[in-house]
Amino acid sequence: MAKYFRDSGHILRFIEYMDVGDSNGWKLDEGVPSSEIVEIIGSQLPIEPIAPNYLGEVASRWKYTDGSGEIGLISSVSQPFCGDCSRLRLSARGELFTCLFASSGHDVRTLLRGDASDEK
């Protein structure tokens, strides 16, 4: 994927597998940490780290040393960014979570719908 998107003008993002909402039953040793992704890509396409675009950016940025593009890595498990995170997650059931790893959230569906049915 890194080779394919390298000269495309698109920034390819990799995210570590994470158990969002503590519901998948995954194990840490079954995932691939971002450091390993950097090592794999860097062994074929030399890359170097670059500064974030803004405070609180969750992806670490890497550019190809020949200037042909960049990739990003979201290291939510191996390098947590909780201290700078400003993300919210809205589930399909209408629950608002203030943490990506939270297992319980706030019911906003009831607030938004009032007494409306699914059809309304």
Answer whether residue 26 shows pLDDT above 70.
no
- What are phi and psi for residue 100, nearest 5 degrees? -60, -25
Instruction: Tell me, yes or no, whether 78 and 98 share the same domain.
Output: no
pTM: 0.69
Q: How far apart are CA 120 and CA 116, in angstroms?
A: 6
Which residue, 22, 9, 60, is CA-closest to 38?
A: 60
Greater model confidence, 112 or 62: 62
In whole angstroms, how far apart are CA 1 and each of 45, 59, 78? 12, 17, 22
* Comparison of pLDDT for 24 and 91, the residue scoring more: 91
Q: Which domain holds residue 76?
A: 2-84
Handedness of CA 84, 86, 92, 95 (dihedral sign): positive
Q: How much is the average pLDDT of 86-109?
A: 86
What pLDDT is attached to residue 116? 64
Instruction: Please tell me whether residues 69 and 11 are part of one structural domain.
Output: yes
**pLDDT confidence of residue 67:** 86
Contacts of 39 (CB under 8 A, 6+ apart): none
**What is the DSSP pairing of strand 70-74 with strand 59-64?**
antiparallel
Report, as an integer, the average pLDDT of 10-28.
75
Q: Residue 88: what residue type?
A: L
Amino acid identity at 54: Y
Identify the band that residue 20 occupies on the pLDDT scale cut at 50, 70 and 90: low
22 shares its domain with 46: yes
Q: 94 and 66 in one domain? A: no
Could you tell me the pLDDT band of residue 84, with boundaries at 50, 70 and 90?
A: confident
